[in-house]
Each structure stands twice: as C-alpha cells, then as structure tokens.
Amino acid sequence: GEVVTRFPPEPNGYLHIGHAKAAIVDFEYAKKYDGKFILRFDDTNPENAKHEFYKAQKEDLKWLGITWDDEYNTSDNLNKHYDLAEQLIKQGDAYVCKCSSEAFKEHRSKGTECDCRNNSPDENKSLWNEMQSTLNNASLKLKGDMKSVNTAMRDPTLFRVINKRHPIQNDRYRVWPTYDFAGAVEDSLSGVTHPFRTKEYELRDEVYFKLLDLLNLRKPHLLEFARLSIGGMPVSKRKIKPLIDNGTV
C-alpha cells in the first residue's frame, strides 16, 4: 500500500504502442503492490498541447483496461514551480541566460561558461521577473558543471519563454518548465515512490537528483526500462502525427 507510480503523457498527440507499454508497466506495478497509480498530464509545452489529446489519451488508457486513482495537470502547479525556481535563484544555483541557443550550444560543446553565469542572485531575480512580462530571448539554467563528462549536467535549461496560448491555462503563463525540472519536482511533490522512465533519459538522472537535493525535496526511487521499437514502423508521436493528419493511417 506504499508504492505510488505515475504515467505522465504529454497531451501533444495520440498514444502509441510505446506509451501502452509504459502505462501498463506503471499501472501493473502499483496494482501488484496494492499501491496508488497517478495519471499526470505533463502539459508544460503549449506549442503542441491540445484539448483533444487529453481526452483521446484517457479514452485509450481505459481501452487498455487501465484505471487511475488520481489525475491532474502539471500546468495547474506552475505557481509552485515558480516559487521553487526563485528558491534556486536566491541560493545562487540557477541563473538567467540571454545567450542564443547556438552560442550556448557552443559553450556546452567546449565546456566553457558564458558571461551570464556571473550574474548576482539579485540580477537573476530581476531578469526572471522580466521573463514573466517582456523578456523573450532568455532561459533559466541550472548552475551545474560545464566541465562534467555527463553533458546533461552542463547547465541544463530549467525554464524557457513560450509565447503560445495554452489549451487549459490560456494566456496566464509565458514561462514554462522543461521536462528536467517539472518531472523531478512533480514526482517528488505528488508522492510518487517509483517513477519509471525510458532508457534514453538515463544520463538525465543526475540532473533529476541534483535538483531535488538543491530544493531539499524527497527523492523517489528512479527506474529505467527500454524503449519499445518495431522494425519498419515509426513508434514516435512526432512521426505518427503527420501520418494521421494526412490520412495515411
């Protein structure tokens, strides 16, 4: 009765067989241990999120025989995410970067620090406030280790500006957390004990636990399983959506 798992789809497309595998693993582990299973819509990128996908994904999960004990949207918790971002800024563990994505990619590749990294916490707080209103070409980054052999730790982006209307939050927010930030924070705050992620996120585990350490949040027992691939068949929302849109499938 103490195991808590979650299935966190992004409502930006229709579920495919890879999601089915992930959802069943999450659901069956909770069921096996008489625990709790949470459906969490990770809707922190308004670019592709649509109302129809929240509904379609729930219908498909029910078709698979999956039921859930709790359901919520990550976007509903953005104010809490902002509080935690400001905590990191105040502690000197995060900074606002105004470098172009190309310039920062170069820094990351070479393992060098950009000038923005030297901002004071007060300067970062002021720039963070500007991001909420007028500043567009900026992001909040974790002060990681630009020399780390794990390139995921080279100052990953935590928040970015996306000027797009959200299907649920409308125009309430313009600064949105990345998967690195939202995933770690939501797993901890929602009481998840055993979050499952696919193998391609394994390098990002260090970022996950670093964030929880810096924020003094509870650390779940993170587990990985393999991605599901089928030879000759696309298993990716990004590749499947155009096939659906143009009537191929």
Q: Estimate the crossing angle of helix 179-189 against helix 78-91, to 10 degrees.
A: 110
Which phi-psi region, left, alpha or beta, contains residue 84 (left: φ > 0; alpha: ψ -120 to 50)?
A: alpha
Tell me how crowded residue 191 is: count the other CB atoms within 10 A of its CB.
14
**What is d(CA 125, CA 228) in angstroms, rounded to the nearest whole number?**
42
Q: Is 227 known to be catalytic?
A: yes
**What is d(CA 88, CA 101) in angstroms, rounded to the nearest whole number?**
22
Q: Is 10 known to be catalytic?
A: yes
**What is d(CA 11, CA 53) in angstroms, rounded to the nearest whole number?**
5
50, 143, 227, 241: the active-site residue: 227
10, 86, 113, 206: the active-site residue: 10
Tell me how crowded residue 28 is: count the other CB atoms within 10 A of its CB.
13
DSSP, residue by residue, 116-161: GGG--HHHHHHHHHHHTTT--S-EEEE---TT-SSGGGSS-EEEEE
DSSP, residue by residue, 30-49: HHHTT-EEEEEE----TTT-
Q: Active-site positions?
A: 10, 227, 237
